[in-house]
Amino acid sequence: MVHGNEYKLRALEQGSIRVSLEEIPRGRVLDRHGIDSLTQGQREPRVVVFPEIIQAKEEASLLLSQVIRREPEELFRYLNGEAGFLPFALTKGQVRQIQELNILGLMVQEIDYRYGPKPLAAHVIGHLGPISDRSLLERLNNLEGKQYKLSDLIGKSGLEYFYEGVLKAGEPVSMVRAHVDVYRNLIAGLGIKKEEDRDTGRQDLITTLDGEIQRAVEEVMDRRVERGAVVIMDARNGDLLAMASRPNFNPGNVALSLPGDHDTFLDHCTALYQPGSIFKVVVAAAALEEGMVKPSDTFVCLGEHDHLVRCWHKPGHGPITFEEAFAQSCNPVFAELGLKLGAEKLITYAKAFGLESQKIIGYPVSRDPRQDLDLIGKPYSLVNSSIGQGPVLTTPVQLTAMINVIVNGGMYIEPRLVKELRAENGQTSRHFSLGNSHKVISSETARELKRLLGLVTTQGVGKEAGIQSYGSAGKTGSAELAGNTDRVNAWFCGFAPMESPKYIVTVLVEEGVSGGLTAAPVFREILEAILDHPH
pLDDT tens figures, 240-271:
999 999 999 999 888 776 666 668 899 999 99
pLDDT tens figures, 96-130:
999 999 999 999 999 999 999 999 999 999 999 99
The closest of 50, 51, 66 to 101, measured between CA atoms, is 66
- Cβ contact 216:528 at 8 Å: no
* Domain formed by 44-51+58-111, architecture: 2-Layer Sandwich (3.30)
Pairing of strands 228-234, 240-246: antiparallel
pLDDT tens figures, 292-321:
999 999 999 999 898 899 898 999 999 999
Domain 211-240+268-421+428-531 has CATH 3.40.50.720: no
Q: What residue ranges do the domains of the chain occupy?
A: 23-39+119-176+188-207, 44-51+58-111, 211-240+268-421+428-531
pLDDT tens figures, 157-167:
999 999 999 99
The Cα–Cα gap between 264 and 245 comes to 9
Mean pLDDT of 309-336: 95
Per-residue model confidence (pLDDT) at position 8: 47
Per-residue model confidence (pLDDT) at position 58: 95
Mean pLDDT of 276-299: 97
What mean pLDDT is reported for the chain? 92
Percent of the chain predicted with pLDDT > 90: 82
* Domain formed by 23-39+119-176+188-207, architecture: Alpha-Beta Complex (3.90)
Residue 482 confidence (pLDDT) above 90: no
Q: With DSSP H G I counted as helix, E B as strand and the rest as coil, what are the percentages for the chain, rounded to 5?
A: 35, 25, 40
Residue 87 confidence (pLDDT) above 80: yes
The Cα–Cα gap between 154 and 141 comes to 12
Per-residue model confidence (pLDDT) at position 189: 61
Q: Which residues contact 483 (CB under 8 A, 6 or more apart)?
A: none
* Cα 194 from chain centre: 36
Residue 2 confidence (pLDDT) above 80: no
Instruction: Decide: helix, strand or coil at residue 211.
Output: helix
Per-residue model confidence (pLDDT) at position 484: 63
* Polymer length of the chain: 535
Residue 343 confidence (pLDDT) above 80: yes
Per-residue model confidence (pLDDT) at position 188: 67
Which pLDDT band, with edges at 50, 70 and 90, does 180 fall under?
A: confident
The Cα–Cα gap between 168 and 42 comes to 19
Residue 6 confidence (pLDDT) above 50: no
φ/ψ region of 470 (left if φ > 0, alpha if ψ in -120 to 50, else beta) reads: alpha
Residue 7 confidence (pLDDT) above 50: no
